[in-house]
Amino acid sequence: MNLILLGPPGAGKGTQAKRLEERYGLRQLATGDMLRAERASGSALGQRVQVIMDRGELVSDDIMIALIAQSIDAERDDKGFVLDGFPRTLPQAQALDQMLGERGLKLDCVIEMTVDEAALVDRISGRFSCAHCGASFHARFNPPKVVFNPPKVAGVCDFCGSHDFKQRADDTAETVRTRLAAYRAQTAPILPYYRAKGLLRPVDGMAAPDDVTKAIERVIAAPVKAGG
């Protein structure tokens, strides 16, 4: 099963992709994570994309298409993959179709995580993760407006006990606005492309994370059954 999770930054794609990885053994291919790993390694690619990412703009299609082709080929098995953060432009979507076709693969479903954009800036600028195990949390941000998922004990990771947390460099309110604008201008036009192919399935991304997971599981059960 090969899936795409599509939606603006902060829609919960990363959280849900991880759950799909655990539940179905799908490989999570998260282009943002790949780019952050390149940056952390100090590679030439990492240095090239650093400024673009920190501004909240999109990295060029050429780089992204090469990166995703590499990771699809890196490790192929019959369980499939879940794309998180790719494609983000129409040329990326078209290149993906071509690259899957050349490899005898196909997409089963494109899950559109619908969100209330007004809530996203607070949602994203309040998020942080454990520097040790990567678990995600949300601070109470701009109280009383937004209450999310803080650690049970302030300053201590629920999962590994670490006291070390980090925030993404591009999760500031100003950069989030640029990222949302990039989504509207460059990524949203992909939706009709997949709708026309009959692959698009909307899911309410504003629901509680467990409810979003259940909704996604229901959605993907249908094409899987239909396809045998």
Active-site positions?
13, 88, 127, 168, 179
Which of the ranges 84-92, 101-109, 134-142, 216-224 carries the binding residues for ligand AMP, by CB under 6 A? 84-92
Taking phi first (over 0 means left), then psi (-120 to 50 degrees means alpha), and beta for anything else, what does residue 142 get? left
- Angle in degrees, 0-180, between the axes of helices 90-102 and 61-74, rounded to the nearest 10: 30
Q: Looking at the DSSP assignment, which residues form a beta bridge with residue 202?
A: 112
Residues 54-83 that bind ligand AMP (CB under 6 A): 56-59, 64
User: 10 Å Cβ neighbour count for 20?
Assistant: 24
Cis omega (within 30 of 0) for bond into 151:
no
76-107 burial, b at 16+ Cβ within 10 Å, e below that, comes to: eeeebbbbbbbbbbebbbebbeeeeeeeeeeb
Q: Which of 39, 138, 179, 201 binds ligand AMP (CB under 6 A)?
A: 179
Q: Which of 3, 53, 72, 220 binds ligand AMP (CB under 6 A)?
A: 53
Minimum distance from residue 91 beta carbon to ligand AMP (Å): 10
Position 113 contacts ligand AMP (CB under 6 A): no
Residue 79: CB partners within 8 Å, gap ≥ 6? Answer: 1, 24, 25, 26, 27
Which tokens hold the place of 63?
């780089």
Minimum distance from residue 132 beta carbon to ligand AMP (Å): 20
Q: Which of 9, 126, 151, 205 binds ligand AMP (CB under 6 A)?
A: 9
Taking phi first (over 0 means left), then psi (-120 to 50 degrees means alpha), and beta for anything else, what does residue 10 get? left
| C-alpha separations of 173 from 141, 142, 168 in Å | 12, 12, 12
Position 31 contacts ligand AMP (CB under 6 A): yes
Residue 136: CB partners within 8 Å, gap ≥ 6? Answer: 14, 15, 127, 128, 129, 149
Minimum distance from residue 72 beta carbon to ligand AMP (Å): 13
Q: Among residues 129 and 156, whose Cβ is nearest to ligand AMP?
A: 129
Position 32 contacts ligand AMP (CB under 6 A): yes
- Give the residue nearest to ligand AMP (CB): 32
Position 85 contacts ligand AMP (CB under 6 A): yes
Q: Among residues 134 and 223, whose Cβ is nearest to ligand AMP?
A: 134
Q: Among residues 2 and 92, whose Cβ is nearest to ligand AMP?
A: 92
Fill in the amino acid letter for 193: Y
Minimum distance from residue 227 beta carbon to ligand AMP (Å): 26
Q: Among residues 50 and 223, whose Cβ is nearest to ligand AMP?
A: 50
Residues that bind ligand AMP (CB under 6 A): 9, 31-32, 35, 52-53, 56-59, 64, 85-86, 88, 92, 170, 179
